[in-house]
Structure 1
Amino acid sequence: MDRTLVLQLQPTHEQAKHLQQTVQEHTACFNAVADEGFTSGCCNGIELHKRTYYDLRAQYPHLPAQLVCAARVKATEAVKSALDRLKKGRKASAPRSRLCPIRYDQRSYWVKWNSHTCSLATVEGRVHLSFTVPKHAQKYIGGKVCSADLCSRKGTYTLHVVVHLPDPLVLSSDDVIGVDLGLNHPAVTSHRHFLGERRWKEQELRLFRLRRKLQAKGTKSAKRHLRKLSGKLFRQRKDHDHVLSKRIVEHATAGSTIVLENLTHIRSRARLRKGEGQRRLHSWSFAQFHSFLSYKAQEKGIEVVKVDPRHTSQTCSRCGHQARNNRRSQSLFLCRACGLSVHADLNAARNIREKHLASLGTSLAGGSQSDGLSSQVI
């Protein structure tokens, strides 16, 4: 399995100047290749290399050839994505970056864990830097070093190093946990765990109202405040997704299976009126949450799978009766056929679990599925 360690670089003033110049020239190469590829409609890396490499080497003679090639590779990926958007009839423009991260390979950098030093290729040759490792990532020190990305933000430099580690040896388990994701209850498991904090919704709403108020005001001080708030909502959601995925993994046994709904294209399928519900749906970071959950589960040997989400909220988890009016409200599920009364999200989590078991040709063994609302675990 692969893990990414974010190393905090500690360059001297002179080294910081070399890194800054290297990132700027690498970004200029990226933008030049991206313009060429988007204008001509070409996303073939070999062809773009022939068209741009020698001109860029002549224009930036001090930039190492490996970094020029790295800029071309990143630009090719960006151009391909932009052209795919055009083919689907969506708006797209030529990819452009202000500070494009540099992707280093084993020929252009190295890391020594024992001395906490690294070497990076720059416009002034090799630069040797010291770094620090975050406390939570120190358990990954010593793994096989793969590629790395040098990122620059507000004058600070971080090296995102990909480390390859052996997969954990965990015996598989028959335990299957269905997880229903939602906007009101972030996650509800089939084991009757209601995960997430109610204050998260209010935090996002408070920040949205503040940003809207500042944007309407439009004064210089309001714009300064908006710059200060830049990225805060993104960081909040990232923290929430980390906490939520960690709690789900903690409630799962090693070797078990976690089943989620496949929410791809949910924004185009859902029918919501304009307002808070639509805004929250379009800002829902379910893809980021899935990626966090997947890599956290991998360490415990837990498999994460997705199932079709259709009718999971309308079907009774006890008798299988499906009807729209089974769901009386956002939180109450009351089956018209058998009278099952249960929290709607808990019912959906059980249906998600059953869908996966049905795809394996097995059925739920033992235990009653009908827990009343009075026995919820919140």
Structure 2
Amino acid sequence: MQRTIRIQLKPDIETDSVLSQTIEQYTWSFNAVCKHGWKNDLANGVELHKATYYDHRAITGLPSQLVCAARVKATEALKSAKSLKKKGKTVSCPISKRCPIRYDARSYTAWFDRSELSILSINGRVKLSFEIAEYYRQYLAWKNTSADLLQDRKGCWWLHVVMEIETPQASVTDEVVGVDLGIASPAVDSRGSKYGSGHWKKIEDKTFELHRRLQSKGTKSAKGHLKKLSGRQRRFRKDCDHVLSKRLARSVESGATLVFEDLTNIRGRAKMRKAQRRRLHGWSFAQFQAFVTYKAEARGVNVGFVDPRYTSQKCSQCGHIERGNRPSQAEFRCKKCGYERHADYNAAINIRAEGIRMLKAEGSAVSAVGGEIRPKLGRKSKLRHSPVSTEADTVLGTPSQCG
């Protein structure tokens, strides 16, 4: 289990200059390795090392550890681009304007007890003092592994230190909770709980209107305001996802399983009206699921993913599947048995049932606490849509507001 501590560094003028030179040469080395690998269709780390190491040592003046780190990072970027290209995506040669420097145990040392650190630079080791936020002190007993040095747009220096500890183990329970994510309602689970706030949606709409007005204005000050607005909107969404994911992860006991739809490539598959596309493309479902996964891991809770097909069209009472079962965004009314329920709640029950079916098909309840469980079936595989148990209906009422 890993967490990242963000430490702001405040170097003096001389050290700032050294760090700037180091990151500039590191970025050059990264881009040069990427260019060589892209030109020669090469993504093997050993071959790239042989082709670039000695030249880059002589040209950049970087220590050998940082030259190797830049090559490793470039190799990862090339492999990622190659993988995307195989999937039919349009890709180009990886390039970075200011590549963060990756340090390992041999190139940096942090002493949290006296708030000092030593990092490798173009002029050898430099020592810096730092202050750590009170929230991060809970992780100081963990083992520190790698770290990334970066400089933000304002010129501030940050060191992101990765802390590691053994994943907590817990006895597995039979509790399985399905979670339906949506654009109108951020999350609804199979117990009937609704996560989100209408106030957040109003803020998003207000921000969008301001963004549109500033774009149409087109002045220099408007463009500067747009840049600030973009960062503010990103931070607001991130905070909302943190709040909701924390509530959801804490809503189940240790050993339980949270089941989501696997929404990979949903933006390319979904067909929506023009008015709804803005919300679809601004929907941060992947970030939310990632936050839930790591927060659940800390509590010994599993996270599973199931095939999303027909979860919104299927009746959780009789199993009938029909597009007309959902006459509106919030309403579900089965054409066959007349069953009525909030559409997101009905979908969450279906997700839970599919999650239980998938777990049973794998032969055990859960393989490892704190991990991810994804369906083995491919996108083109045909799923069996059997009637779903209505056990939840006898216990739960209508969706309640939890936020």
Please classify the TM superposition score into its range, dividing by the shorter chain length: over 0.9
Corresponding residue for residue 316 of structure 1: 315
In 2: Cα distance, 1:2 partner to 1:376 partner: 34
Distance change (3 Å), C-alpha of 1:376 and 1:305 = closer
The match for 1:79 is 78
Counterparts in 2 of 1:36-47, with a 5 A limit?
A: 36-47=36-47
Q: How does 1:193-212 map to 2 (within 5 A)?
A: 193-212=193-212
Contact between 2:186 and 2:195, CA under 8 Å: does it hold in 1?
A: yes
Aligned AA for 1:73? Answer: V
Do the aligned partners of 2:191 and 2:392 also contact (CA within 8 Å) in 1?
no
State the Cα distance separating 1:188 from its structure 2 match.
0.2
Range that drifts further, 93-102 or 221-230: 221-230
Distance in 1 (alpha carbons) for counterparts of 2:269 and 2:88: 18
Q: 1:115/1:312 Cα in 2 relative to 1: closer, same or farther (>3 Å)?
A: same
Confirm whether residue 20 of structure 1 aligns to residue 14 of structure 2. no
Q: Larger deviation: 6-15 or 292-301?
A: 6-15
Contact 1:341-1:371 within 8 A present in 2 as well: no
- CA apart distance, 1:371: 6.3
Q: 1 CA distance for matches of 2:259 and 2:87?
A: 31
2 CA distance for matches of 1:95 and 1:360? 39
Q: Is the 8 A contact 1:256 1:302 kept in 2?
A: yes
- Secondary structure at the residue paired with 1:118? strand
Task: Look up the equivalent residue of 2:319 and give its one-letter code.
Answer: G
Deviations 1:254-308 (A, max 9, x none): 21110000111211211123x2311221232222212111110011100000011
Asked if 1:189 corresponds to 2:189, the answer is yes
Distance change in 2, residues 1:86/1:352 (3 Å): closer
Q: How far did residue 178 of structure 1 move?
A: 0.6
Q: SS in structure 2 opposite 1:310? A: coil
For 1:331, the equivalent position in structure 2 comes to 330
**For 2:234 and 2:56, how far apart are their aligned partners in 1?**
35
Displacement after TM superposition at 1:137 (Å): 2.1
Rounded to whole Å, the distance in 2 between the matches of 1:142 and 1:311 is 46
Q: How does 1:260-279 map to 2 (within 5 A)?
A: 260-273=260-273, 275-279=274-278
C-alpha separation between the residues in 1 aligned to 2:338 and 2:187? 25
| 1:352 to partner: Cα distance | 0.6
What is the number of residues matched between the two proteins?
374
- Secondary structure in structure 2 of the residue aligned to 1:91: coil
**Which secondary structure state, in structure 1, belongs to the residue aligned with residue 393 of structure 2?**
coil
Deviation at 1:234?
2.1
Change (3 A) 1:151 1:97: same
Deviation at 1:369, TM superposition (A): 4.8
Indicate if the aligned counterparts of 2:102 and 2:149 stay in contact, CA closer than 8 A.
yes
Tell me, in whole angstroms, the C-alpha distance in 1 between the residues paired with 2:298 and 2:87: 37
User: Could you say if the C-alpha distance between residues 285 and 115 of structure 1 is closer, same or farther in structure 2, counting changes exceeding 3 Å?
Assistant: same
CA distance in 1 between partners of 2:49 and 2:114 (Å): 37
Cα distance in 1 between the residues matched to 2:237 and 2:186: 12
Counterpart Cα distance in 2 of 1:73 and 1:371: 52
SS at match of 1:368: helix
CA contact (8 A) 1:314 1:323 kept: yes
Q: Is the 8 A contact 2:188 2:399 kept in 1?
A: no
Residue 144 of structure 1 and its aligned partner are, at CA, apart by 1.1
How many angstroms apart in 1 are the aligned matches of 2:143 and 2:189? 36
Name the aligned partner's letter for residue 236 of structure 1: F
> TM-score by structure 2 length?
0.87
Q: Does 1:376 align with 2:399?
A: yes
Contact 1:357–1:364 (Cα < 8 Å) also in 2: no
Query: How far did residue 342 of structure 1 move?
Result: 1.2
- Check if 1:354 corresponds to 2:353: yes
Letter in 1 for 2:33: V
The alpha carbon displacement at 1:147 in A equals 0.8
Q: 5+ residue gaps in structure 2?
A: 366-387
Moved more, 151-160 or 278-287: 278-287
Deviation at 1:364, TM superposition (A): 5.2
The TM-score with structure 1 as length reference comes to: 0.93
The 2-side partners of 1:31 and 1:168 are apart by 40
> Displacement, 1:227?
2.8
Distance 2:394 2:269 in 1: 30
Contact 1:318–1:370 (CA<8 Å) still a contact in 2?
Answer: no
Does 240-249 or 1-10 show the bigger shift?
1-10
Shift of 1:163: 1.2
Q: How does 1:1-378 map to 2 (within 5 A)?
A: 1-61=1-61, 63-153=62-152, 154-273=154-273, 275-361=274-360, 366=391, 368-369=393-394, 375-378=398-401
Kindly, what percent of the aligned residue pairs are identical? 49
